Structure 1
Amino acid sequence: MGEAVTPATVHAFYQALASRDPVRLAPYLADDVEWHMAGPVDLFVFCGYRRGKAAVVDYIGRLVPSMFSVRRFEPAEVVIDGDTAALLNNVTSVQKGTGRILTYQTAVFVVFRDGKVVSLKGVSDTFDMAEQVVGHRIDPYREPRLAAQRDVIAL
């Protein structure tokens, strides 16, 4: 564990992240930042792994906006322990192309070093998001390729 991160630093980073402004976010990122959003990359291009400040800035400035316009990104819970912060967020976004409004939660786990983010790991309820994107409930047991498995787990 590194040096403890201050609540003020976590709050400032969160505000920059919520703004979705890559210029505002960049100063909070270490040059070697690792950023991973869990989820199906073929459905949500913003999921997956990125390394380096330039890749994360591209992610915030181009990839996420290519699919969604984020309207609300508010913390529900924030926990800080040493150099790590965990944030549970309520998100509302509008899907590009369809205008569908999506509401979901996402959790991010952030590690800081010298006041900068060196690691962010996030997870969203992408199954719920997928249902909202397609506009109806998805029954995994009626999907032909999943029906035989009968052990589908959605996180």
Structure 2
Amino acid sequence: MGALSERRVREIYEQFAHRRLNDLEHAIDENIDFLSHAPADIFPYLGRRRGQAEVLRAFTEVHEELEVLSFWPLTTVVNEDRAALSVIVKVKDRATERSAHYRAAHFLRFRDDRIIECCAIIDSLDAARQLARQETAVQDS
């Protein structure tokens, strides 16, 4: 495999954003270690996941619960087998129709063109506040 590139990393993010999980399967190592720092009561499908099947199942749950309106990497830094991204995420809850727009930071490590480690930190407090504000606004009307 060639050197990791920003283009390859952005391609992987496009696959996730557009729910192309069959394509994404080829970008995730069989033994991936995935950790997303997010409160389980707000994002129960995130947290720590190990192995390709478990991570893909979590991604499936994300897309079942949320419509990903945008998942846009603002910055992408690639160095050898690692990538770091700042991401703007906009989602809509499929059940409630409420939306949230928040920031995230992702840190990836690759081997043989596949992600072997992923650590994601999302501004879940911001997302929760947005969803609560919408709920309050509806109740006050």
Matches within 5 A, 1:50-65: 50-61=49-60, 63-65=61-63
Tell me if the contact between 1:95 and 1:133 (Cα under 8 Å) persists in the aligned partners.
Answer: no
Q: Distance in 2 between matches of 1:14 and 1:93?
A: 15
Q: Distance in 2 between matches of 1:88 and 1:121?
A: 12
Q: Distance in 1 between matches of 2:16 and 2:78?
A: 17
| 2:90 equivalent among 82, 89, 92 | 92
Question: So what's the TM-score if we normalise by structure 1?
Answer: 0.79
Summarize deviations over 1:35-74 as a string: whole Å, max 9, x none: 111011122112210011101111111x212431111111
Summarize deviations over 1:69-128 as a string: whole Å, max 9, x none: 111111111011111101111111111222112111111111000110001110110111
**Structure 2: gaps (5+ residues):** 135-141
Q: What is the aligned partner in structure 2 of residue 142 from structure 1?
A: none
Q: What is the aligned partner in structure 1 of residue 6 from structure 2?
A: 7
- Report the 3-state secondary structure (helix = DSSP H, G, I; strand = E; otherwise coil) of the residue aligned with 1:55: helix
Q: Distance in 1 between matches of 2:7 and 2:87?
A: 18
Q: Distance in 2 between matches of 1:26 and 1:43?
A: 25
Matches within 5 A, 1:29-68: 29-61=28-60, 63-68=61-66
Tell me the percent identity: 28
- Report the 3-state secondary structure (helix = DSSP H, G, I; strand = E; otherwise coil) of the residue aligned with 1:12: helix
* Structure 1 segments of 4+ aligned residues over 4 angstroms from their partners: none
Question: So what's the TM-score if we normalise by structure 2?
Answer: 0.86
The change in CA–CA distance for 1:122 and 1:18 in structure 2 (over 3 A counts) is same
Q: Distance in 2 between matches of 1:52 and 1:124?
A: 21
Tell me if the contact between 1:4 and 1:81 (Cα under 8 Å) persists in the aligned partners.
Answer: no
Q: How many residues align?
A: 134
**Structure 1: gaps (5+ residues):** 137-155
Q: What is the aligned partner in structure 1 of residue 67 from structure 2?
A: 69
The change in CA–CA distance for 1:66 and 1:12 in structure 2 (over 3 A counts) is closer
Q: Distance in 2 between matches of 1:7 and 1:67?
A: 29
- How far off its partner does 1:4 sit? 4.8
